Amino acid sequence: MAVLDTVARRFARGLAAHLVLVDPGRVVIGGGLAHAGELLIDAVRRHLEPLTLAPFDLRVSSLRENAVVVGAVRMALDAAEERLAALL
């Protein structure tokens, strides 16, 4: 648990700077970090709260490490649909 807390604290510090600049309202954690699930989310949220000014929604991606692949497939399908629409 100490390692998880250290990772969460460091992640929260880096994320806090982005939240202040961008203010996205929602942050979705994916990739390898998503495997830690709610344990990581709870720890990151606990470390982030004193570092941020506005509320935010922090979630784990249901796609986990497949987000890039799914996004690439979606882009390819969108491009194919556009080409088909141009032909019709």
How many structural domains does the chain have? Answer: 1
pTM, two decimals, is: 0.67
CB distance 11 to 27 below 8 Å: no
pLDDT tens for the chain, 88 residues: list them: 899 899 999 999 999 988 888 878 888 888 777 787 888 889 999 999 999 888 888 888 888 778 778 888 999 999 999 999 998 8
**Taking Cα atoms as reference points, which of 2, 25, 1, 27 lies closest to residue 14?**
27
- Domain hosting 48: range is 2-87
CATH (domain of 50): 3.30.420.40
Residue 51 tokens read as: 């570092």
Round the CA-based radius of gyration of the chain to a whole number and report it.
17
Residue 30 tokens read as: 């994916």
Give the integer Cα–Cα distance in Å for 51 and 69: 33
Give the integer Cα–Cα distance in Å for 62 and 15: 20
Q: What is the DSSP letter of 67?
A: H
